[in-house]
Amino acid sequence: MLVLTRKPKQQIMIGDDITIHIVEVQGDNVRIAIDAPRKVKIYRGEIYRAIQEENKQAAAPAPAHLDLSNALPEK
């Protein structure tokens, strides 16, 4: 992990096409702006973890005690 110290109005570059702008620092809060191509998905950490957990749960096989064989209509 890289840890940097920046002041308001300073920037951090990630590669050639992502720029992190330090907008404001107030106590423990830091406001940033991210300039990145539209194809780059940007999430807050807690949202990203929630999405990952939902994806894991959706991909998990149905519990053995759940019999879905009669849930489909017969032809």
Q: What is the pLDDT of residues 50-64, one digit of tens each?
A: 999 999 988 888 776
pLDDT digits (tens, 9 = 90+) for 18-74: 999 999 999 999 999 999 999 999 999 999 999 999 999 888 887 766 666 666 666
User: pTM for the full model?
Assistant: 0.69
Q: Is 19:34 a contact under the CB 8 Å cutoff?
A: yes
User: What backbone phi and psi angles, to 5 degrees, belong to 20?
Assistant: -100, 120
What tokens appear for 33 in the block?
């702006």
Angle made by CA atoms 15, 21, 27, in degrees to the nearest 5: 135
What is the number of alpha carbons within 13 Å of residue 53 lying toward its C-beta?
Answer: 6
C-alpha distance across the termini of the chain, in Å: 58
